[in-house]
Structure 1
Amino acid sequence: MKISSEIVDLNKVVGKRYATFWNYKGRYRIVKGGRGSKKSYTTALWFISNMMKLKDSNLLVVRKVFDTHRGSTFAQLKTAMKRLKVSHFWKCTTSPMEMTYLPTGQKIIFRGLDDPLKITSVTVEVGYLCWAWFEEMYQVENEDDFNKVDMSIRGAVPEHLFKQITCTFNPWSETHWLNDRFFKGGAEDRNSLITKGLAIHKNTNDVLAMTTNFRANEFLDEADLNVFRTMELENPKRFEVEGNGNWGICEGTVFYRWEIREFDVNELIKSGRFETCLGLDFGFTNDPTAFIASLVDVENKEIYVFDEHYEKGMFNEDIVKMIEYKGFAKSKITADSAEEKSIKWMKRNGLPRIRSSVKGPDSIIYGIQYLQGYKVYILPKCKNFIVEIKNYIWDTDKKTGKALNKPIDDYNHLLDAWRYSVEELATKGKIKAGQYRMI
């Protein structure tokens, strides 16, 4: 097979700051970073460049949910091919989703943790499965899911190859297992983050753990940089995470009695102990439409969150179709009363039992208090709900820094829907003003 080629200056395409990352050959290469830190961009370039350089190497790309690959890792790797001017060397297909290096038959294979059987059965026809890339690793809440993939990268490889797991993610709650396993005990070099946009926490034979941020990305223009400058001035707490790449702040958490757990929804329903509670919060351009489904055991004070939907740009027709698809069209649904016109339309067009929430003075606090009385179990697939419940905290006074008796107006789309869904149960519980508490 004769394929034309041209010379590309790798230094100009990749840029600076990532030399340690690029040359590391230990088992775990872990990078957390803020927005615009080019961590995923650089990772994609590394894999395309090194697969073409190292014969017999193959890559497994993993995300929490398989369907999210198309707009993220798959697109990023195709972009890397274009930047390196090697697209003509690769065949990229979406069914099955894979990329093949034409001269040798080496492959990039895509999988999701939502299909565990496909994860554990990955094999390659040419060479060795020696590398794995976990993108948006913070979404992997269960360390055992990571370990299963880790164990699949095993067996002897030729001297020119090495086995490695690469994880890239935006920083999230410091309670995440990634922090305990790879970052704790390492060096904290805040000055390097501020000046260079990159800090290395650990660099051993087995683990490279590092933080990067937008300052490490010389490809950002002035408009991009202004976004971060504005964020630093107007929302310093958000800037610490999305700008500097530091772990999210989890102090002042509103909900704390919850855990992520697998459970059988049908078996729970058969027990007859549960009320099915469904809630809907409207959104469109800036905020998502949020739908939540849970089972509530009033007597034993347990809630099992088992389904969600989280999407921007949904029209009323789309919402009805989504709820019909999930099998809840005939069920009681409590929706945000701010969209009374939409609720009445849906009632006439497929959701006969949808109703408006009852908003009154301190209704948010009352709903929070009621939910605080329950132990909450969440299916791992409800990733957006998990993100919100982790980051929903009590607001603080901007002058004094003291906690206020109200939550932040953020990370609350699914949580608002959740409050609406239990409204009738909360009313039966006779919540009284002044009974709520801050945790």
Structure 2
Amino acid sequence: MTPNPVTYRGKTYKVKMYLYQLYDGSGAVVRIFDEGSSRSGKTFDTADFLYDICASSSVPLKIYCYRATLQDCKEKTLDDFRKKLQLRGVYDSDCMRGENILPEYRIKDSVIRFRGLDKMDVKEGHDCDIVYFNEMLDGVSRAQFDNITMRCTRMVIGDWNPKYTEHWAFHMEGAPDTIFTHTTYKDNPFCPAGVRRTIEGYEPTPENIAAGTADEWRWKVYGLGVRAAQEGLIFPDIDWIDEFPEDIERVVLGLDFGFTADPTACVRVGFRTPNHLYLQELIYQPIDDTSKLYTALSPHFTNGVSRCYADSADKYAKSPESMITAMRIKGLTVIPVRKYPGSVMDGITSMKGCKIHCVRSRNMQIEANSYVWETVNGIAINYPHDEFNHLWDAARYAVQSEFKDLIQIAA
């Protein structure tokens, strides 16, 4: 029998409420991180918890809910919050303010604000009682987390699907006043039957393998809620850093064109002997206009960066003003990369010969955890799959054009 959604409170709700009451008045800040599968009820539990403490509090509470982008925070975090309150019959549209700009929901004298980290400076934060990071593994740097939480006085909440095996958030496990919870879709009595079938279809059983739905990585992450890395990652051992070092003498740019569906990707690439590569995402958006490309690219020709290596497969190469030609006319040294049979693997081999340090960003992490070797009938072949490679192609252009010989010398 399915429980009543009005009165039901989930597993992680009970943990939060217990610790909130336990720590009340202690002066300490408790941190609760909900790690689990898809549809395990993590977000709904937090919505229930935030509503209940605001509704019962004798003092005004100030709460901030964050996600990587303001758009995602409005369309996903806020949407889940509203759905849960509607299921309980307590949602009041008159309590919602600024929904299309900077949303906030008021409960008695308390306020819950929904914000995107893309609209905040890394050093920015707000005084608050509780802070909640929804899908914390994506687009939340350690610097942002530290600066936001240092202004929080009562509780820090984070949740995620564990789709990586390495992340700075995992290092907090076992720290004082820090609790990690684990849930799966089986902990959520409201998980729709169709969604449950889809999730269970990922399990690598003989039946699912025969049906073509089996996916071990998806089963581990979205079914079992355990940390897992994609099989066959091209760059599996990345050191994630918060800032690009300022003391690297030789730095160039790499540029991969994207015009409509695919993004134009620009990466800052630095090299330090022996065999250390430093990468930072600078641009990641479709750009089909030369003026827009110049506006986006030109600010990055600073701090000693004097040249950029670009994809020679320029969509407009045969027109009077190709992308590369247009940048050169405008004064930017953009050089088409030399392509030859085997150049892709040469560039990847050079990069794999280095310790790669990436400045943490949402797009870089997604590509790093999704860029895999091509497979044929389930067998990996020595060639990269042509997806999730925009930033990596941009970086490869710079490495094989500028640093390949240095890497060979240092090897």
Is TM-score (shorter-chain normalized) higher than 0.5?
Answer: yes
Per the alignment, residue 389 of structure 1 pairs with: 368
Q: Which amino acid aligns with 1:365?
A: M
CA drift of 1:260 comes to 0.7
Please give the alpha-carbon distance, in whole angstroms, between the structure 2 residues aligned to 1:115 and 1:284.
Answer: 29
Aligned-partner residue type, residue 258 of structure 1: D
Percentage identity across paired residues of the two chains: 17
Alignment equivalent of 2:75, drawn from 59, 66, 71? 71
**Kept in 2: contact 1:340–1:356 (CA 8 A):** no
Q: Is the 8 A contact 1:291 1:417 kept in 2?
A: yes
Are the counterparts in 2 of residues 294 and 305 from structure 1 also a CA contact under 8 Å? yes
Match of 1:308 among 282, 291, 306: 282
Q: Which residue of 1 aligns with 2:395?
A: 418
Give TM-score scaled by structure 2 length.
0.71
The count of corresponding residues between Structure 1 and Structure 2 is 376
Calculate the TM-score normalised by the size of structure 1.
0.67
Counterparts in 2 of 1:227 and 1:358: CA distance versus 1, 3 Å: farther
Query: What displacement does 1:336 show?
Result: 4.4
Cα root mean square deviation, aligned = 4.4
* 1:181 to 2:172 alignment: yes
In 2, the alpha carbon distance for the partners of 1:385 and 1:398 equals 28
Q: Give the corresponding residue for 2:25.
A: none
Maintained 8 Å contact 2:162/2:221: yes
The alpha-carbon deviation at position 20 of structure 1 amounts to 2.2
Can you list the C-alpha shifts for 1:254-283, whole angstroms capped at 9, x where unaligned? 43363414246xx55xx7x32422221537
Q: Which residue of 1 aligns with 2:182?
A: 210
Q: Give the equivalent residue in structure 2 for 1:118.
A: 124
Does 1:12 pair with 2:19?
no
Preserved CA contact (<8 Å) 1:140 1:146: no
Give how far 1:169 is off: 1.0
Give the 3 Å change call, closer, same or farther, for CA 183–283 of structure 1 in structure 2. Answer: farther
Q: Tell me by how many angstroms 1:68 deviates.
A: 4.8
Asked if residue 29 in structure 1 is aligned to residue 32 in structure 2, the reply is: yes
Q: In the alignment, which of 292, 299, 304 is matched to residue 321 of structure 1?
A: 292
Q: Which runs of 5+ in 1 are unaligned?
A: 1-8, 124-128, 155-162, 185-203
- In the TM superposition, 1:9-408 aligns within 5 A as 11-12=4-5, 19-24=10-15, 25-26=18-19, 27-56=30-59, 57-64=61-68, 68-83=72-87, 84-93=89-98, 97-101=102-106, 103-108=108-113, 110=115, 112=117, 114-119=120-125, 121-123=126-128, 129=129, 131-139=130-138, 143=142, 145-154=144-153, 163-182=154-173, 207-213=179-185, 216=188, 218-220=190-192, 222=194, 225-226=197-198, 229=201, 233-249=213-229, 254-255=234-235, 256=237, 258-263=239-244, 268=247, 273-282=249-258, 284-285=260-261, 288-297=262-271, 301-311=275-285, 314=286, 316-317=288-289, 321=292, 324-327=295-298, 333-336=308-311, 340-341=315-316, 345-347=322-324, 357-380=337-360, 382-390=361-369, 392=371, 405-407=382-384
The Cα shift of 1:424 comes to 2.0
CA contact (8 A) 2:314 2:324 kept: no
Q: Secondary structure at the match of 1:282?
A: coil
Q: CA offsets per residue over residues 206-263 of structure 1, 9 Å max, x none?
A: 6251132378363535378447637862533333223433212277654336341424
Contact 1:259-1:377 at 8 Å conserved across structures: yes
